[in-house]
Copies of this chain bind each other. A is one copy, B any other.
């Protein structure tokens, strides 16, 4: 029976099968009963005056942004722009964020990861990667703003990041796509020899607030999907999944599913560090790149059922769990067994200089929930129990990694990718809540046309049995999230004064406009409810320049008052920036169009916000 289903899993058949399963689930009495609705309503309702228990940071996928939710209310509190411009906050228009975006107009944010201390989320930073334009970013959780973005060279789509090591020593960024190193043109006939899947080891310099690439590893020309860092006993190690180890170059739907097994890459990053220190690398376009076929050690391959998505390390660091995404079964692998096999050099061949361990040597147990199909990702609770998403059979399976016993199953609507549990990637998950990030909503919500929202479902996992207690539509497209206890994040209320910032103006009478040749430097202030650009002018809220001038506008928000944000927009000049309480921000533009252009505050700030306006006057060239 199971085999028959699996053999149908190619091409359109998957969709058809999935559709059948969807609507099968729809009428499950469990989730729709009115009796249980009352209790569920109370569980997710956070009355005014109280706050949510957890922050959920969910990737915004090809929006390029991060969505911040409160749990259990599942209310979306904020969209924090990361890889795409965001006019609502002026991100991508002000000088700092425009430079950070590097000219790119969008990103594809897949997997967010909190900074960690001793394997616990420390609430200080959030990291993320961009599959579309190969970047990595760090967000400061004091302000919920992005501090740095780097482009990752020699690579194409660091999909399977970011996951951090126990003390945020590294983010490892393996790549989804293999390309000729440096993106040169090379025929796909030369795929196996000229293409590579490069993994980057990225560090974060907290003092300088900068991301850096420490080194790279030229892995084989495969696709890499997800990774996880080891914990406790496995803390010096990391694991990542591969697919298309067939090295197919077209129609991957079929050609990348030919072999029965792909691999988990298992590597010891302390050994890689050592290799770099010992000069065991090549210099490739300015990067230190380890080629495993030249410098062996520290990297191993573990066979796994074909085309796995996730690989997840248990909170105790003893096991890693992975599954073929079209398979009915989950595999628990043992780090200890892997270490022993490596010690004994029990290898079964190699690929591109990387030794292959035997599946049987590393496998701890196989788990086979009846008729469950499409295991993708696993999260954990406070009792060590595992929760695995089943994409095809649209459900969450709860099971015990120590025994393989299946404890509970609950349908979700529909097609879950990742799930995220409270503090689920730490050494001590909280239990309590699990959110299923579903790829399809179908008819779950009011229709918004042929394309529907995605869906997140909140599951109460505090008892022995799981219970879906809330369903929330989501903008495209949640890939992964992390959920952190609310009290771990300590935001600031206003930006502190920066007395040494030459662009800042802290008293109204210091507001001034300085011309240097054809550059006009404005040192202005915003306060409820006016702009002052030039305190001494007849009209202090007017900026007058000549056509073609370069205009640099610095504005300090003098309202040192929580939540009193001002905006600065110029009509028909296609510009907007945000200035948060106490902040000094800068926007630059060339006054290319002569004429009269109203400027205004875009953030409603007081009863006289509507009056917080002025003009940009651009005198035409004679």
Contacts and interface: CB of A to CB of B under 8 A. Distances in A.
B48 A468 contact: yes
A597 to B, nearest CB: 7
A252 interface: yes
A216 interface: no
Given A491-B447, A527-B12, A595 B78 contact: no
Interface string A555-584: 000010111110101011010101011110
A220 B81 CA distance: 40
A59 to B, nearest CB: 12
B49 A45 contact: no
B104 A574 contact: yes
Nearest to A604: B439
Interface stretch (A176-184, A203-211, A286-294): A176-184
Interface in A10-68: 10-12, 14-15, 18-19, 26-27, 31-32, 34, 37-38, 40-42, 44-45, 47-52, 55, 60-64, 68
Interface string A534-569: 000011111000000000000000010111110101
Determine how many copies of this chain the complex contains. Answer: 2
B64 A87 contact: yes
A53 to B, nearest CB: 9
A106 B47 contact: no
Contact of A450 (B32, B60, B562): B562
Interface size class of A (residues with CB under 8 A): 35 or more
A104 B580 CA distance: 24
Interface stretch (A267-275, A276-284, A339-347, A607-615): A607-615
Contact of A87 (B105, B143, B252, B415): B105
Interface string A601-622: 0111111101111110111100
A530 interface: yes
Contact of A250 (B31, B74, B539): B539
A377 interface: no
A204 B92 CA distance: 34
A528 interface: yes
A402 interface: no
Q: Considering residues A78, A103, A559, A565, which has the most beta carbons from chain B within 10 angstroms of its beta carbon?
A: A78
Interface in A335-369: none
B417 A604 contact: yes
A95 interface: no
A608 B47 contact: no
B37 A596 contact: no
A528 B14 contact: yes
B250 A540 contact: yes
Contacts of A571: 131-134, 156-157, 177
Given A78-B473, A79-B475, A450-B491, 17 more contacts: A12-B528, A26-B49, A31-B49, A37-B42, A41-B41, A55-B446, A63-B86, A132-B576, A144-B448, A179-B595, A188-B539, A250-B614, A257-B611, A415-B604, A443-B562, A449-B580, A477-B602
15 contacts: A12-B527, A12-B528, A12-B559, A15-B528, A51-B445, A52-B446, A62-B576, A68-B446, A132-B576, A225-B610, A252-B611, A253-B529, A253-B608, A391-B607, A446-B486
